[in-house]
Amino acid sequence: MARTYYDTEQYFEQPSEYTLKTNASATVQKARSKGKQLHPVTVTGRKIAKSWWGMAWCENLERYADYESRLERGKRYLRSGTVVDLQIDKGHVQAKVQGRRKSPYKVDIRISPVNEEKCEDIIAACGKRIDSLDALLKGRFPEELKEIFLGADGLFPTPREISFQCSCPDWALMCKHVSAVLYGIAVRFDEDPLLFFELRGIDVDHFVDVTLENSVESMLRNVNVKSSRIISDRNWKKLFG
């Protein structure tokens, strides 16, 4: 009979924080001695993420009942420094997470890219926030864009858009390694906000360019409307003296 994640938890005792930390640091050292540089995720302080977008990422995960109760162990794992490597690419996260055994588990998370229609809606909404876009280009993630990104049609993925895999024996539902990586993504977003766009498959430069172009076009349209009105006023005066 296939065992669920919850069943396996009963069979295996949880590794201690000491074991996890020792194994994690050995893995990083070992990679270094082979000339490979791992990028561990480090959580300092009480909160996992400090920026609003990092925190929003965590809140987004926690508001889905599908993930509830599976996330808590992941937080503990992340805090213990078990995510020894985490790389974010377009729609793809690859990570190594230390567990009880010496070699880390491989976690692979895929997030479907934002579709064109949704992207256009977001671009249209952002067009009204030109100052914010400038900040975005400079690598900051302005709070004024929060409501646009966080809305139901925003940039945060739903569970249906997230798929994952782990090389551990109990990944079928969502293991603590996957959950630790999902939280680890928030820490990476704190360090580099533009990775958020990268993960959602959006070229941020292009995003800002198109938004600016649209805004300029709409501004020009407004100017034309105004000037044609003025002309017609003049014509009217000419007509009736």
Of residues 151 through 170, those in contact with Zn ion by CB under 5 A are: 166, 168
Residues in binding contact with Zn ion, number by CB under 5 A: 5
Q: How far is the CB of 68 from Zn ion (least distance, A)?
A: 18
DSSP bridge pairs for 92: 89, 110
Name 154's Cβ contacts closer than 8 Å, sequence gap at least 6. Answer: 122, 148
Q: Does 180 bind Zn ion (CB under 5 A)?
A: no
Residue 34: CB minimum distance to Zn ion, A: 24
Query: In angstroms, what is the minimal distance from the CB of 112 to Zn ion?
Result: 21
The answer to whether the Cα torsion of 19, 25, 28, 31 is positive or negative is negative
- Give SS3 for 238: helix
The β-bridge partners of 165 are 108
- Of positions 52, 77, 171, 207, contacts Zn ion by CB under 5 A: 171
Based on CB atoms, which residue is closest to Zn ion, 99 or 193?
A: 99
Report whether 155 contacts 122 (CB < 8 A): yes
Read off the tokens for 91.
């729609």
Touching Zn ion, residues 86-105 (CB under 5 A): none
Residue placing its CB nearer to Zn ion in the complex, 50 or 110: 110
Strands of the chain (E only): list them. Answer: 83-89, 92-97, 105-111, 162-166
- Tokens for 225? 């409307």
Restricting to residues 20-59, name those near Zn ion by CB under 5 A.
none
Q: Which of 70, 79, 177, 200 binds Zn ion (CB under 5 A)?
A: 177
Decide if residue 175 touches Zn ion (CB under 5 A). yes
Question: Shortest approach of Zn ion to residue 170 CB, angstroms?
Answer: 6
Taking the complex as a whole, the smallest distance from the CB of residue 107 to Zn ion amounts, in Å, to 7
DSSP state of 165: E
Residues that bind Zn ion (CB under 5 A): 166, 168, 171, 175, 177
